[in-house]
Structure 1
Amino acid sequence: MSSKLIRGTFILTLGTFISKFLGLFYVIPFDDLLKGHEEGASLYQYGYVPYTIFLTVATAGVPLAVSKFVSKYNAIGEYAVGRKLFKSGLVLMTLTGVVSFLIMYAFAPIFAEMTIKSDEQVISVAQVTTVIRAVSFALIIIPFMSLIRGFFQGHQSMGPTAVSQVIEQIVRIVFLLGGIYVVLNIMEGTVTTAISVATFAAFVGGLASLGALIWYWFKRKPHLDELLEEDRGNEEISLKAMYKEIIAYSIPFIFVGLANPLFQLVDQITFNTAMADIGNAKVSDHAFAVLNFYTHKLVIIPVSLATAFSMTLIPLITTSYTSGDRKTMRRNIDQTFQILLFLTVPAALGLALLAEPMYTLFYHSDPLGTSILRSYAPVAILFALFAVTAAILQGIDEQKFTIFSLLVGLFLKLVLNIPLIRLFETQGAVLATTIGYVVAILINLYVIKKYARYQFRLILRRTMFIGALNAAMAVVVLVLYSILVRFLSPETGFQSILLVAICGGVGALVYFYLSLRSKLADRLFGDKISKIRSKLRIG
């Protein structure tokens, strides 16, 4: 794997993981602050799902599309083209953000009515409307910010994106938790007001992130100006042609970014209907929160790596594809698949095996939460594979198939969701998501095989081997867990910490040892791992 891919992936992975972990751990005090207001988590998620969809459309896949565009023209020495796009794009993204905000704010009541299906539900249409309007303000600033991130990524500079993500998350969480505490405990306000303040925190975090990116811009501008002086000047591209190319890139990015939110939206508009049909309207809001908020926060963590890989992959694959270096392109794809599976499979498996203490550790003891997390955790592998296969399709200019695969998967989710929820309740929604993603990924893999002429023989062998290592790890964890639960209860917070720390730590050590012993880690990560193995005298 190229040093740029390793370095860029490491920086983005670190930033994304920190951001995701912060986004996970804040739920612990969030859940504690809402004790006595159980509807708060559902209300928060009801507002955030439509916001995420609007945000994805408003940014129009800008970070990845711009990074692809800039890296393409940088590869041929046309640095001025990317700078021209950057200047005009700032104005366009500002307009896009304002228009998206106005639409979301105005249509909030309609979105709320699509969500709340029964008078027996705990949450009302008016409450959801208020929360949606509060979070819509973030749309004003995020698109503008996303363009700057994409420009830096196009220059294969991942630091600004990583740092700004972390700053955004920290400021958002501090404002969110502080706002809920002040509203509920000092002002003695309603849970609707508290959650509205919590969602407005997205706007405040966006401001902080923008400040960090502006600082990076002034710091990096001298270097960027030096590149401009080396511009060949052979390409004269009009704004019309430029945006035509960007739109061609952006549309697939929009769909990729919308994948997870759209699957969640299907749940949001069908889940309550299906639950009401089988007489579960009173518990529908709680079950939805468990599915789309609490367990989803945990499941999405292993997907962080895929997000980092997809953002790093696209400029490099685009560069090698544009220059005709198919060997380098296939090598990067090969390494990415292997490392992705090597890291995400044990993370998802461990989450499933330790579902009960994990759920208790982060939230509270809940049989429904444990059950959903156990079945939902493996879906993280599918989320990661879809993100990376879609990124590869972008890099080889076959992005139209990304749209097709997602639409097919989403169609299956929409068709199957209500019948499966009626049959299996909340588990039915997990099953429908699994089926939709599996089909979408299979389509992407077929297209990669056909158009990149990529052979999956090595990946299949490595997947089976990684599966064997995980099976060995799982046996050790299950045996250890069955012994420890005789003395420790997964229903209490502190004892859950011990169970997760001991079983998770031993499982990680077993997996690490087996990967070193088999020299699989050496093949994936290179000489540094070989040195570690030699020092530990393994193998």
Structure 2
Amino acid sequence: MKAKKYSAFWHGAVILTAAGLITKILSAFYRIPYQNIAGDIAFYTYQQVYPIYGLCLTFAVYGFPAVISKMIAEQKEDGKEERVRDILSISFWFLTLLCTIVFLFLFAASHFVARMMGDEQLYKIVRVASFCFLFMPFISMVRGYFQGSYNMLPTAVSQVTEQLLRVSTIVLLSLYFVANDFDVYTIGAGAMFGSVVGGMVSVVVLWLFLRRNLQHVLFRRWSSISKKGMIMRALFWQGITICVSNLVLIVMQFVDSLTVYNMLIGAGEFADRAKVIKGIYDRGIPLVQLGTVVATSFSLALIPVMTEARRRKDTALIRGKLRLAVKVTLVIGLGASVGLACIIKPTNIMLFENQAGSDLLAILGFSILFSALAITSATVLQGLGYTAAPALFTLVGAVTKYAANIILIPQLGVKGAAVATVISLMLIVILNFFLLARVVCTSLIEWFALIRIVLSCGAMALFLMLYLFIVESVFPGASRSGASVEAIAGAVLGGLVYLLFLVKLHVFTEEELGALLHRREISFQKKMRKEKGA
């Protein structure tokens, strides 16, 4: 029985990791064609409001389903199927009330929210984004139910389908609105409507999975359900704490939405020029998101193993996996940040048509390293049972980001916002790491490994600088296609040099490489099956 449960646990974790990787890549990638189609000002209008949708998405993917699934799993283990239906019913109606209030507030106060962002014309995009909250209760309930039953397929299918339809709608509507000369705010509203379409599709997909039992779940006598308050309190507070630590990048974007454009206008910039500057600054978001996804994908795959090790009180395995997760995140995150900073000019031209803002994007690129470390460390802390602390640290980072924006933007312009983001994320990482080191009573990275990683990164940076000097001396003023070849070749060659030095300096041991390929987990699984057979 234990072997079967472990197998379902690990298989489900792999499915969710794969689905999460696909959806995050889609979520980062679609912004590039959207900016190419609509331009920097339309990109600004969409990105100003995106944090509202990002908040809704995070709650529907991470927060509420995680809490519901935990409660469902506990009741299923005790064989209390009626209690499972009670939890689902309370969760759905409580979240429906909560999300309806949020929807009504955002829709009614859309002009106020837009004025807070410094541009009242954003109100129509805020209104479109508010509709996304209406789909959250059903999505969260069904995903939580299936995840609590160790069936991750419905969640994975709904996530991927939602993102595919959302991205397709954004690109198609943008093409249509631009071709028909609609204003930039309507183009932004059309892009946000893609998120509404994604939510509707996700509801349909999940309904198909649960349609047979839906009536028994939703329509239950409220008076017959016990401990309603306890379930609602757990759902609300635990959902928020889990979500906040997964909202690191969204929180930074939200602070920027409230401050950057307002402060540019306050500094004397014309409105249209300020919108262009903010749109150029927002080019860094897909680059940071994509880099963070890659940097965390391998390390987060180790989290279920640590959670299972905690259940079995295997302290040695927890420490080993934790060090490996930190090392992998550091290797990929630092490599991505430094590599992107080196080739940012041709990359900017390749993706966004020109090199505007390359210097500030190079600064913002270091957010990849610190956001990846922040997300990995927060997720590990949650897996070890510490949910409130990483949420608090994220809020501390948000306050720091706001204060740093206020101080640095008048001094450095929009580059100040990029520096503020890096500083705030670094602070979150320091706080998470300090707590993690105390919890597991061990250092998170060996000094000799850190030195070897930095040396490998330095070698890659020197190679890329030499490579760019030669290429730009031979082909000065290359076209967009030439810049694309330069960027792609630089990424590949720089990555190979980095990998070569990582191997030559023995940054990873054979045991660590084997763990990354799940050999140890597979052997553990075989051992469990053998014990069952005995």
Matches within 5 A, 1:450-469: 450-458=438-446, 460-469=447-456
Whether 1:471 aligns to 2:455 is no
CA deviation string 1:30-80 (max 9, x = no partner): 223225xx4211111122223333555687821333344455667x66674
Instruction: Give distance in 2, aligned partners of 1:408 and 1:418.
Output: 16
In the alignment, which residue of structure 2 is the partner of 1:524? 512
Instruction: Give distance in 2, aligned partners of 1:312 and 1:73.
Output: 26
Match of 2:170 among 176, 183, 188: 176
Does structure 2 retain, via aligned residues, the 8 Å contact 1:360–1:491? no
Match of 1:276 among 238, 252, 265: 265
CA deviation string 1:280-311 (max 9, x = no partner): 244221221222x3111111112124665787
Whether 1:334 aligns to 2:323 is yes
CA deviation string 1:237-259 (max 9, x = no partner): 84433344344422311322333
Instruction: Give distance in 1, aligned partners of 2:359 and 2:304.
Output: 40
In the alignment, which residue of structure 2 is the partner of 1:49? 51
In the alignment, which residue of structure 2 is the partner of 1:374? 362
In terms of mean alpha carbon deviation, does 262-271 or 518-527 score higher? Answer: 518-527
CA deviation string 1:362-406 (max 9, x = no partner): 1111332x1121111111111111112111222222222223322
What runs of 5+ residues in structure 2 fail to find an aligned partner? 1-5, 214-224, 520-534
Match of 2:201 among 198, 201, 208: 208
The CA RMSD measured in Å over matched residues stands at 3.3
- 1:491: Cα distance to partner? 5.7
Instruction: Give distance in 2, aligned partners of 1:526 and 1:511.
Output: 20
Instruction: Give distance in 2, aligned partners of 1:240 and 1:316.
Output: 33
In the alignment, which residue of structure 1 is the partner of 2:403? 415
- How many percent of aligned residue pairs carry the same amino acid? 24
Whether 1:142 aligns to 2:136 is yes
> How has the CA–CA distance of structure 1 residues 14 and 513 changed in structure 2, closer, same or farther, with 3 Å as cutoff?
farther
Match of 1:191 among 141, 165, 184: 184
Whether 1:447 aligns to 2:440 is no
Amino acid at match of 1:427: K
Give 3-state SS (helix, strand or coil) of 1:469's partner: helix
Does structure 2 retain, via aligned residues, the 8 Å contact 1:68–1:315? no
> How has the CA–CA distance of structure 1 residues 527 and 201 changed in structure 2, closer, same or farther, with 3 Å as cutoff?
closer
- 1:168: Cα distance to partner? 1.5
Instruction: Give distance in 2, aligned partners of 1:327 and 1:213.
Output: 40
Does structure 2 retain, via aligned residues, the 8 Å contact 1:67–1:315? no
Match of 1:285 among 262, 275, 290: 275
What runs of 5+ residues in structure 1 fail to find an aligned partner? 117-123, 222-235, 532-539
Amino acid at match of 1:130: K
Does structure 1 retain, via aligned residues, the 8 Å contact 2:336–2:369? no
Q: How many residues align?
A: 500
Instruction: Give distance in 1, aligned partners of 2:9 and 2:336.
Output: 22
Instruction: Give distance in 1, aligned partners of 2:400 and 2:132.
Output: 32
Amino acid at match of 1:485: E
In terms of mean alpha carbon deviation, does 54-63 or 43-52 score higher? Answer: 54-63
> How has the CA–CA distance of structure 1 residues 525 and 12 changed in structure 2, closer, same or farther, with 3 Å as cutoff?
farther
Does structure 2 retain, via aligned residues, the 8 Å contact 1:71–1:318? no
Instruction: Give distance in 2, aligned partners of 1:13 and 1:299.
Output: 19
Instruction: Give distance in 1, aligned partners of 2:475 and 2:9.
Output: 44
Amino acid at match of 1:209: S
Instruction: Give distance in 2, aligned partners of 1:6 and 1:338.
Output: 22
Instruction: Give distance in 1, aligned partners of 2:207 and 2:156.
Output: 14
Amino acid at match of 1:142: M
Instruction: Give distance in 1, aligned partners of 2:488 and 2:89.
Output: 49
CA deviation string 1:439-492 (max 9, x = no partner): 22211111112223233253x443332222222222222222221122345763
Does structure 2 retain, via aligned residues, the 8 Å contact 1:420–1:432? yes
Match of 1:427 among 415, 432, 436: 415
Instruction: Give distance in 2, aligned partners of 1:308 and 1:240.
Output: 37
Give 3-state SS (helix, strand or coil) of 1:324's partner: coil
Instruction: Give distance in 1, aligned partners of 2:113 and 2:514.
Output: 50
